[in-house]
Amino acid sequence: MANVEVPASHTDVLIVGTGPAGLMMATSLAKCGIDTRIIDKRGTKIFNGQADGLQCRTLEIFDSLGFGHRAWRESNHMLEIRLWNPDENGIIRLSDKIPDTLVGISRFQQVVLHQGRIERFFLDTIQECGGNPVGRGVLPTELHIDETLVDDSHAYPITVRVRHLSEKESTPDQTATSANGEAVQDGLFRSNLTPDDTHELIARAKLDSKANSEETIKAKYLLGADGAHSWVRRQLGFKLEGDSTDYIWGVLDIVPITNFLLKLLMNKQHFPDIRMRCAIHSASSGSVIVIPRENKLVRLYIQLTTTENAAEGGAAKADRSKISPETILASAQKIMAPYNITYRKLDWWTAYQIGQRVGTSFSAHERVFLAGDAVHTHSPKAGQGMNVSMQDTFNLAWKVASVVKGVSSRAILKTYQSERRRIAQDLIEFDHRFSRLFSGRPAKDVMDAEGVSMEEFKDAFVKGNLFASGIAVDYGASSIVAKAGETTDQGDGTEVSASAKFRVQSTQSLAPGIPVGKRMPSVKVLNQSDARPWHFQELLPSNGLWRIAFFVGDISRPSERQCAEAIGKAIDHEASFLRRYTSANARYDSGFEILAVHCAPRATTTIFDFHPVFRPYDELDGWDYAKIFVDEDSYHEGHGRIYETFEIDKSVGCAVVIRPDQYVSYVGAADYVESINKFFAGFMIPARETYRAALNNPDLDRD
Amino acid sequence: MANVEVPASHTDVLIVGTGPAGLMMATSLAKCGIDTRIIDKRGTKIFNGQADGLQCRTLEIFDSLGFGHRAWRESNHMLEIRLWNPDENGIIRLSDKIPDTLVGISRFQQVVLHQGRIERFFLDTIQECGGNPVGRGVLPTELHIDETLVDDSHAYPITVRVRHLSEKESTPDQTATSANGEAVQDGLFRSNLTPDDTHELIARAKLDSKANSEETIKAKYLLGADGAHSWVRRQLGFKLEGDSTDYIWGVLDIVPITNFLLKLLMNKQHFPDIRMRCAIHSASSGSVIVIPRENKLVRLYIQLTTTENAAEGGAAKADRSKISPETILASAQKIMAPYNITYRKLDWWTAYQIGQRVGTSFSAHERVFLAGDAVHTHSPKAGQGMNVSMQDTFNLAWKVASVVKGVSSRAILKTYQSERRRIAQDLIEFDHRFSRLFSGRPAKDVMDAEGVSMEEFKDAFVKGNLFASGIAVDYGASSIVAKAGETTDQGDGTEVSASAKFRVQSTQSLAPGIPVGKRMPSVKVLNQSDARPWHFQELLPSNGLWRIAFFVGDISRPSERQCAEAIGKAIDHEASFLRRYTSANARYDSGFEILAVHCAPRATTTIFDFHPVFRPYDELDGWDYAKIFVDEDSYHEGHGRIYETFEIDKSVGCAVVIRPDQYVSYVGAADYVESINKFFAGFMIPARETYRAALNNPDLDRD
C-alpha cells in the first residue's frame, strides 16, 4: 500500500456494495452475530425503479429473516400470466392464461415490490440485530490479499483501502427527464448502456482530497457484491464469460391509461387486463411484458429493436441519445396496437442491452467472494436477477459465519462456488431460451420453423415457472449435502466432497417428499404444548442454526416410544454431534436445534413423554416448549398432514438434517444418530472444552 | 375560569387518557383526518403488565387500522381452554377441554399480548397518519361546557384548562418489590385497591408552579377515557352504578417453573399444560386462571379470599399491606396442590377487588363522552376490559369524525350511548355470572345446590366464548341500523330512531348470513382485475368511509346484467346518496365506496362489463381496479363461496350498507337504491355545492 498513515480498523467480513446481494449478506451475518462492515460508493439507497419481482423462494427467505410479512403486505401480488400472440390477421389476441406461481409449491406466491422497499427491510433488520450501519459514500481504492495467511482461520488476510466521499461525489449523475413538467428518475446510470463511473469518482475524490478521509480496513473475508462493473472482480482479475445479445429493451414504470383491457374494439374473446402479468408478442414489432406493480404502477418491458433491425446494425451498442421515455412508449404503442396506451405519471425508466455472462470464478482463496451481478448478468424479464443475487449471499452468509465462529472448517466455503456458480450457469441457460422466445418473431404458421410458435411460448412459461420460483434449486452432493454421486458432476465442477471417512449416504426413500439438496418443504404442524399451528418453515428462522428434525411416529405405541427414547439417549451421549460441537458455555441450542414431530394423539401426549433433549431445561426459563410438534388437525387452520405429504411411514419415521439456509443435507433412519454424527464430523470442529469436559463428566453419560 | 391569562388553543377533539380507549379514539380520528389532541397526566406509556387479552373482534379492528398483523405476530396464541376441577377425593384433575375461540367465527383467534405493545401500535399509527403526538404529563384541572353552544355544530363549547407537569410529578409511585434481588413493577398504583392520586398530583403541581405551565384548550368534543377514577366523569357529576364484590384476586406475571404439566404424580388421565389457558377450581382453596403469554411468561389470576373468608370480614377493602407476590404465590400454590409452582422471573404483579359497575350516562350533551373503565368496571378474568374499552371508542370515533366534517347530523351521536351502554350492561351481566362461577366453591356432588357444578362451569365457558370473542355484538335499531322494532328496547333505552319519514326496513332474508346490526362477516373474494384473493373485511379499512356492497349475481346473464346496470344508473343519478353527500371537490370515494361482488366466470368478465360507478375514472390514475370482486376459486387460497356462505340467492342478489366501523346497517334488494337514499337521508347533510351543481349539470344525468 502506498502510504500507510491512515486509520486502520478490523472487521470479520467486509462487504462492498449495498444492493440486495450485499444487504442480504450483511443481514444474514447480523442474524448470526458476526461483525460486518458494508460499504457503497453511492450516497443513498434506491428509492424507486430497479428490480422488482420477488420469487416465492425469496419470500420464504425473507420470512426466515423476519420480514416476509412486510414484503407480502406491501407488494402487488401477481396471480395470473396472460399470453398474447398475433392471430391469423396479425393482430394480437389473448391466446392463453396460466397461474403465475405453480399451485402448491410454496406458502408464498410471486409478488412485485420495488427494490427500495426491499433494501429498507434489510436496513431495518440489520439495525434491529445491532449490526453496523451501512457506510455510504465509501469508495474502495486498493485491495491486497496476503496469500500467506489465507489458510489461517484466525487471520485477517484482506486489506482494503477506502476513501470517504463527499455527498456530491457519491451522488450519481442522472439524466433529468421530465413527464408533465416533473423531473423523473431514470436508471441509465446503472444500466450497462452507461459507462462505469468508478474511475470518474476516484478522480473527483482525489481532486477534492481535503474534504475526504481515507481508511484501511482489515478483514477476514471480503464480499464483492458491487454489480456488473464490480470493482472487486476487476481487482481479482476475474472475467465474466458470455456474450451480449442484439436485443435492446426499454423499461417504463408508469401509471398507464390504456384501453388494453377493453374488449370493445375486438371480438368477444379478447379480455386481458393491465393488472395481470402479460406477455405480448406482436407479429413484427417485437414484444412487451406487462408487470403490474404496487400503487397502480405498471412496469413495461419493451423491445426496442427486433432481431431483424439489429442484424442490419450488428451487435453494436445502441445509441443511447436516441432512447427516451417517449421513444420507448412509441415502441410499446406499436407492439400493442390496435390498443392505446399512454400515461400521465412516469415513475422511472431505463434501457438495457441483454448480456448473458457468468463469472469464471466466484471466489479467490475462499477469502474473497463475488455475488450477484458481479458474477452473472442476464435479461431482467423473468424477474430473476435480484432473487438469484440475494440467494447467492444467503447461501454464502451462514457458511462464512460458521467458519468465523470456529464451528466449521474452511473447506465448506468451496461449496459456495460449487452450488451458486452452477445456479448461475443454469440461469443463463434458462435466460437464453426465455429471451429468444420473447425477442424472437412469432411463427406465422406451423411451417414457419424460424419463428416462435405459441405452443413453444406457453410451454416455456409453464416450465419456466418452476425454475423462476426458486423452489427448483437442488444443490449437488458435497460435504454438506449427503447425496449419492460425484460432487464435481453436480455442481460447477469444483471438488467439494467430504473425505471418504466421513461420507454419509441419505436414504431418500424414507421421506420422498423431502428431497435432499432442495429447500425443506413446508406444511403446518401443531406445537405439542399449546396446540398452535406453525408452518414447518417458520420453525427454521435464519440465525445460523442447524436443525435435526426427528419424525418419531406415534409415540403412544411402545416400539416408537422406545425408538424416540433411544434417539434421545444417542443425542445426549457424550460423543454425539450435539455434545461435540456445542460449546460447554453456550446455550443448549446455540448450534443445533433438535426438533421432534410425532403423530400420537396430542391430547394424551405431553412433552414429558419425550427424552429431555427434546425439551431442554433452563434454570431461569424452565422447560423449552418449542421443540416438539404433532401432526394433527388444528382448530382453525386445517391439517398439514406432514407424514402423508412428505411420504414418511408413521411406523418407520426418519431423521432430517436441515442446513441453516433451510436446504436439506440428509434424510436417514430416525434412530441411526451415528450417521448424523459422521456427517457433522466431516466438516465441523469439535468444541474442545465441551468435549473434554464431557469425557470427565459421568452425569452426561445418562445411559 | 379563574385567570384567563394562559395560552389558549383549539382542537376538534380533546381526549383525556392514553390507555387503549383513548388511543383507539385518537388513532381512529387520525385515520379520518380529524384534528385531535390526546393528553395524560402520566409521564410514560405502559411497559409491562396491565391488560393482555385480545379478542378476535379486536384483532379484526386492529387489522382495519393497519396493525392487526403486528399484534398477530408478536402475541401468544391461545388455542385451547382446559378446565380443572376437584375429583371425588378433592384433588384437582383435568375435567374438560374446549377450543379457546369458537371455530369459524372470525379469521383471527384470541391472543395475548401486553398492553404496552398494543399502545405502541396505536402510537406508531397516529404518527404515520400525521396525528398530533401524545401530550404526556398534562393534567386537566378545570372543565367548562358552554351549554348555549352545544347544538351549534361549528362551535367549541368545551373549555379544558390543563397544567403541564414536570417529569417527577407525572411518574406514579410504584411499590418497589423485589424478586431475586431485582426490582419489579407492580400495578397497584392503577388498582382500585389504591386511592386515586389525582388530587395529590394537582396539589404537587401547584406547589411547583414555576416549573409548570398552564394552557386552555377549546374543543368541539371531549372524550374522558381516563379510567375508573375518571376526572372527566367526576366533573360531569356522573356516577357508576353497581357494587363491589367480596372477591379479592391477585395477578402474577411470571416465567413459571412448575410440574403442573407432569402427569407423573397423578394417574394417566392427568395431562394439562402451563402453555394452555387453564381454569383451575380447587375444592376449598379458590380458583386460579392460567393465561400463557409471550416470551414464556404466564399470567396467573389467583383468588386471594374465598367467599367464605370474605363473609367473615364483610365487603371491606382488603388490607393492601398484606398483599405481595409471595402471598399471592402462596395462594396459587395452595389452589394448585399437589402440583408445585414457583418462579425465578417475576415481570409484574397486582391485586384487585372485583367491582361491577356501569356509568349512568355515557355522554353530556353529546359533546363530552366517557369510555372504557370510566363507565364500566368488572372482573379482568374474561379478558374483556381492554377489548370493550377500545370498542367503545372505535364505535364513537367515526361518528364524531362524520359530524365534525359536516357530513352527518349530530343526532347520530346519541347512538354511542344507546349502543355502547347496552354492551356495558350486557358485559356486567356476563361478568356477574362468570365471576360467580370462578369465585364460588365447586359443588361437592349433585345435591350441593350452593356449589358450582362442573357442567355449569363448562357450559358457561362455551357460551361465554362467543360473548368474549366480541363477534356477538349486535347493535339495536336506530337511525344508522335499519332494523325492525323499537330503538329504546334494543339499546340502553335512549331514543335513537330515524324520523318516520326516513325509516327504512331491511330485508334480512336476502342475506341471512349478513345479520343487520352485527359486524360484516368475512370470507375470501377475488379481485376481478388481478385475481388476488382478499378477505372481505380487508376491503373495509377504518378510514371513515361507508361502503355499499352490491351482490349482483351472475352478470353474464342478461337479467342480472340489466339489474347491475340499473343499480349503476340509480347510484349515478343526481339525487342518489352518492351524489347528494359527496362534495363536488372531493374524490369520488371520499364518503362512500361502492363495491360489487359478482359470480359470473372471472375469465370472461372484465370491469368494463360494469357501469362506471363501479370502476371510477381518474385523469391521473386511470380506472379504479379495486371495487369489483368475484366469487370464484382462487389459485392458492381456496374458495370463499361468499354467496353460499352468506346465503345470498345468486339470481336475486342484495345490497348491503356497511358502517365505517364494519357493522351492517342495512340489507335490502340489490336494485332498490331508493331505500338506500332514504336511509342516508335520515342522518346525512347534503353536500350543498355538489347537489346544487348537479341540478344544473346535464352531464350527470346520464340516463
* Chain A residue with Cα closest to B534: A77
* Chain B residue with Cα closest to A66: B73
In the predicted model, is pLDDT for residue B337 greater than 60? yes
CB contact under 8 A, B109 and A635: yes
| Contact residues for A530 (Cβ-Cβ < 8 A; gap 6+) | A625, B76, B77, B78, B79, B80, B273, B275, B276, B292
pLDDT of residue B211: 56
A609 is catalytic: no
Q: What is the residue-wise DSSP string for A98-115?
A: EESS-TTS-SS--EE--H
CB-CB neighbours of A52 under 10 Å: 26
Chain B residues lying within 8 Å of A636, measured CB to CB: 79, 99, 101, 103, 109
pLDDT of residue A2: 47
CB contact under 8 A, B608 and A255: no
Chain B residues lying within 8 Å of A607, measured CB to CB: 261
In the predicted model, is pLDDT for residue B260 greater than 50? yes
CA A341 to each of CA A256, A326, A348, B95, B528: distance values in angstroms, whole numbers, following the listed order: 7, 12, 17, 69, 21
Chain A residues lying within 8 Å of B71, measured CB to CB: none
pLDDT of residue A44: 66
Chain A residues lying within 8 Å of B109, measured CB to CB: 635-636
Q: Give CA–CA dist A358/A372, Å, rounded.
A: 10
A380 is catalytic: yes
What architecture is the A77-110+244-307+320-355+440-448 domain classified under in CATH?
2-Layer Sandwich (3.30)
pLDDT more than 70, % of chain A: 85
Least confident of A303-312, B53-62, B127-136, B373-382: A303-312
Q: Give CA–CA dist B588/B595, Å, rounded.
A: 13
pLDDT of residue A201: 61
CB contact under 8 A, A271 and B620: no
Nearest to A306 by CA among A284, A276, A329: A284
Question: Strand B654-658 and strand B628-630: pairing?
Answer: unpaired
Cα A360 from chain centroid (whole Å): 20
Q: Mean pLDDT, to the nearest integer, of B109-129?
A: 93
pLDDT band at residue B461 under the 50/70/90 scheme: confident
Cβ pair A548, A676 in contact under 8 A: yes
How many Cβ pairs within 8 Å bridge chains A and B?
120
CB contact under 8 A, A620 and B345: yes
Top-tier CATH class for A8-75+113-171+192-241+357-435: alpha beta
pLDDT of residue B204: 56
* Chain A residue with Cα closest to B617: A257
pLDDT band at residue A697 under the 50/70/90 scheme: very low
Select which of B380, B442, B521, B533 is catalytic: B380
* Chain B residue with Cα closest to A81: B530
Cβ pair B233, B297 in contact under 8 A: no
Nearest to B390 by CA among B67, B1, B170: B67
CA angle A115, A118, A119 (to 5 degrees): 85
Q: Rg (Cα) of chain B, in Å, rounded?
A: 27
A57 is catalytic: no
Least confident of A13-17, B4-8, B301-305: B4-8
Q: Mean pLDDT, to the nearest integer, of B149-172?
A: 86
Question: Which 3 state secondary structure label does DSSP give B268?
Answer: coil
In the predicted model, is pLDDT for residue B326 greater than 80? yes
Nearest to A359 by CA among A368, A350, A351: A368
Grid cell for residue A161:
483501502
For B103, the closest of A76, A527, A636 (CB atoms) is A636
Reported as a single tens digit per residue, the pLDDT across A287-312 is 999 999 988 899 999 988 644 444 44
CB contact under 8 A, B256 and A622: yes
* The amino acid at A383: G
Q: Give CA–CA dist A658/A595, Å, rounded.
A: 11
CB contact under 8 A, A530 and B257: no
CA B351 to each of CA B50, B169, B194, B254: distance values in angstroms, whole numbers, following the listed order: 11, 24, 10, 15
Q: Mean pLDDT, to the nearest integer, of B675-689?
A: 90
CATH 3.50.50.60 placement within chain B: 8-75+113-171+192-241+357-435
Chain B residues lying within 8 Å of A292, measured CB to CB: 530
Reported as a single tens digit per residue, the pLDDT across A252-273 is 999 998 776 544 444 444 444 7
pLDDT more than 90, % of chain A: 62
Cβ pair A518, A617 in contact under 8 A: no
**Residue of B63, B74, B76, B79 for testing the chain A interface, max A β-carbons within 10 Å:** B79
**Residue of B267, B346, B587, B635 for testing the chain A interface, max A β-carbons within 10 Å:** B635
pTM equals: 0.90
Mean pLDDT across chain B: 86
In the predicted model, is pLDDT for residue B166 greater than 70? yes
Nearest to B118 by CA among B347, B389, B371: B389
pLDDT band at residue A198 under the 50/70/90 scheme: low
Q: Give CA–CA dist A169/B52, Å, rounded.
A: 52
Select which of A380, A442, A533, A660 is catalytic: A380
CA A34 to each of CA A28, A110, B313: distance values in angstroms, whole numbers, following the listed order: 9, 31, 62
* Chain B residue with Cα closest to A274: B529
**Of A676 and B44, more confident:** A676
Chain A residues lying within 8 Å of B529, measured CB to CB: 261, 273, 275-276
| Strand-pair partners of B164 | B138, B213
pLDDT of residue B171: 65
HSE-up (13 A, CA, CB side) for residue A151 = 1
CB contact under 8 A, A530 and B275: yes
Q: Give CA–CA dist B564/A141, Å, rounded.
A: 68
| Strand-pair partners of A548 | A594, A657
Least confident of A568-582, B320-334, B560-574: B320-334
For A69, the closest of B73, B296, B607 (CB atoms) is B73
Q: Mean pLDDT, to the nearest integer, of B523-552?
A: 97
pLDDT more than 90, % of chain B: 62
pLDDT band at residue B80 under the 50/70/90 scheme: very high
**Residue of A100, A636, A637, A639 for testing the chain B interface, max B β-carbons within 10 Å:** A636
Cβ pair A268, A49 in contact under 8 A: no
**Of A428 and A185, more confident:** A428
Greatest alpha-carbon span in chain A: 86
User: Helices B385-404 and B56-65, interaxial angle, to 10°?
Assistant: 40
Q: Give CA–CA dist A429/B63, Å, rounded.
A: 44
* Chain A residue with Cα closest to B624: A296
Rounded to 10 degrees, what is the CA torsion of A449, A450, A453, A457? 140
**Residue of A275, A341, A529, A615 for testing the chain B interface, max B β-carbons within 10 Å:** A275
Reported as a single tens digit per residue, the pLDDT across B602-654 is 988 989 899 999 999 888 888 899 999 999 999 999 999 999 999 999 999 99
pLDDT of residue A179: 39
CATH 3.40.30.20 placement within chain A: 500-696
- The yes or no reply on domain A500-696 and CATH 3.30.360.10 is no
* Chain A residue with Cα closest to B75: A532
Backbone angles phi, psi at B217, to 5 degrees: -115, 125
User: Helices B56-65 and B20-31, interaxial angle, to 10°?
Assistant: 40
Nearest to B352 by CA among B281, B247, B195: B247
Q: Give CA–CA dist B299/A79, Å, rounded.
A: 44
What distance in Å separates residue A405's CA from the closest CA in chain B? 27
**Of B322 and A33, more confident:** A33
CB contact under 8 A, A255 and B620: yes
Reported as a single tens digit per residue, the pLDDT across B405-433 is 999 999 999 999 999 999 999 999 888 88
Cβ pair A442, A454 in contact under 8 A: yes
CB contact under 8 A, B296 and A622: yes
CB-CB neighbours of B491 under 10 Å: 25
Chain B residues lying within 8 Å of A82, measured CB to CB: none
pLDDT of residue B196: 58
Q: Give CA–CA dist B657/B667, Å, rounded.
A: 7
Question: Which 3 state secondary structure label does DSSP give B301?
Answer: strand
Cβ pair B74, B143 in contact under 8 A: no
Q: Give CA–CA dist B429/A18, Å, rounded.
A: 60
Least confident of A663-672, A689-698, B506-515: A689-698
| Contact residues for B307 (Cβ-Cβ < 8 A; gap 6+) | B246, B247, B439, B440, B441
Select which of B156, B221, B301, B663 is catalytic: B301
Cβ pair B299, B251 in contact under 8 A: yes
pLDDT of residue A703: 33
What distance in Å separates residue B182's CA from the closest CA in chain A? 14
Grid cell for residue A408:
466449521
Mean pLDDT across chain A: 86
Q: Mean pLDDT, to the nearest integer, of B177-182?
A: 40
In the predicted model, is pLDDT for residue A205 greater than 80? no
CB contact under 8 A, A271 and B604: yes
CB contact under 8 A, A261 and B78: no
CB contact under 8 A, A530 and B76: yes
pLDDT more than 70, % of chain B: 85
pLDDT of residue B318: 56
| Contact residues for A35 (Cβ-Cβ < 8 A; gap 6+) | A11, A12, A13, A132
In the predicted model, is pLDDT for residue B658 greater than 90? yes
Q: Give CA–CA dist B495/B483, Å, rounded.
A: 14
Select which of A52, A347, A373, A631 is catalytic: A52
Nearest to B363 by CA among B492, B509, B544, B548: B492
What distance in Å separates residue B637's CA from the closest CA in chain A? 10
Chain A residues lying within 8 Å of B605, measured CB to CB: 271
| Helix ranges, A282-384 (H) | 307-313, 325-336
CB contact under 8 A, A255 and B622: yes
Chain A residues lying within 8 Å of B620, measured CB to CB: 255, 344-345
Rounded to 10 degrees, what is the CA torsion of B147, B151, B153, B156? 0
With cell 411463427, the residue in question is A443
For B255, the closest of A296, A529, A621 (CB atoms) is A621
Least confident of B95-99, B165-169, B484-488: B165-169
B380 is catalytic: yes
What distance in Å separates residue A93's CA from the closest CA in chain B? 14
Least confident of A466-470, B38-42, B209-213, B416-420: B209-213
Rounded to 10 degrees, what is the CA torsion of A489, A491, A495, A497? -90
| Helix ranges, B103-210 (H) | 115-128, 198-207
Chain B residues lying within 8 Å of A530, measured CB to CB: 76-80, 273, 275-276, 292
* Chain B residue with Cα closest to A180: B620
Reported as a single tens digit per residue, the pLDDT across B276-317 is 999 898 888 889 999 999 888 999 999 886 444 444 444 445
pLDDT of residue A175: 40
